[in-house]
Amino acid sequence: MFNQVIEKVYDHRNSNSWSAKLRKKRLSFFSSLMALIPTTQSSVKILDVGGVPEFWQNSAFFEQTPVNVEIYVVNINPFYEKHGTSNQKIKIMTSDARNLKHFKDKEFDIVFSNSVIEHVGDYSDQRQMANEVMRVGQRYFIQTPNLYFPIEPHFIFPFFQFLPIGLRVELLTRFDLGWLKKQPDKQKARVEVESIRLLSKKQFTNLFPGANYYEEKIFGLTKSLIVYDGW
């Protein structure tokens, strides 16, 4: 029963899930911003920070976008660069979102990131990522789950993010939670729990001063936060 709930609400691989529908709407919004890029520009370079090639390959993005696009996917996990992709419009590199040293200032027309900034560390790490996004991109579009949405989106547990750290660790040592399998080793469970730091609207927008702000909602509740700028 619980797995069915996860599939219906959070599994973006299920095209009928809320998550998949929100993602489709998010990419449509992003494509509408892409349409604002001057038509005199022959191609657009996009840097996807922390992404995976499947995100783009499994969407209709390339069909929806009127301009020629090159997407550079950077991920801290070398698995993606090692295995590559057959799509010639996607290039994959191994890099840390907090230090995009391979890239020059304003090298990319757009920096894109989807549900990544909550995984890079504490608030100072998140600020490092935000600074790098603004450094290498002429424009940016960054999304993250909302801290105050009632169901934590990784552990799929009501108000999990507000429970004492010890209780969160204890729960993960006893149960499979959302996308994470039960972790009997308490130290490893603590690492898993502490590796995700959700952001509030104030915290998120403070990382990107002056940016435009948008909220994705389900039944009137804000599920995700988006900042974008440069258009």
Domains in the chain: ranges and CATH = 2-148+196-229 (3.40.50.150), 155-195 (no CATH)
Q: What angle do CA 33, 128, 54 make, to 5 degrees?
A: 50
Q: Give the model confidence (pLDDT) of 130-178 as tens digits.
A: 999 999 999 999 999 999 999 999 999 999 999 999 999 999 999 999 8
The reported pLDDT for the residue numbered 8 is: 58
- Determine the Cα–Cα distance for residues 148 and 158; give it in Å rounded to an integer: 11
The b-or-e profile of 69-107 (16+ CB within 10 A means b, else e) is bebbbbbeeeebbeeebeeeebbbeebbbbebeebeeeb
Residues 27-53, mean pLDDT to the nearest whole number: 89
The reported pLDDT for the residue numbered 67 is: 76
The reported pLDDT for the residue numbered 13 is: 58
Cα–Cα separations (whole angstroms), residue 102 to 50, 56, 93, 107, 192: 15, 22, 10, 10, 28
The answer to whether 90 touches 48, Cβ cutoff 8 Å, is no
Q: How confident is the model at residue 179 (pLDDT cuts 50, 70, 90)?
A: confident
Give percent of the chain above pLDDT 70.
91
Q: How confident is the model at residue 66 (pLDDT cuts 50, 70, 90)?
A: low
The reported pLDDT for the residue numbered 12 is: 55
Q: Give the model confidence (pLDDT) of 83-102 as tens digits.
A: 999 899 999 999 999 999 99
CA dihedral 90, 27, 200, 183 (to 10 degrees): -60
The reported pLDDT for the residue numbered 62 is: 84
- Determine the Cα–Cα distance for residues 156 and 150; give it in Å rounded to an integer: 10
Q: How confident is the model at residue 231 (pLDDT cuts 50, 70, 90)?
A: confident
**Residue 57 pLDDT > 80, yes or no?**
yes
Cα–Cα separations (whole angstroms), residue 148 to 57, 224, 228: 31, 10, 21
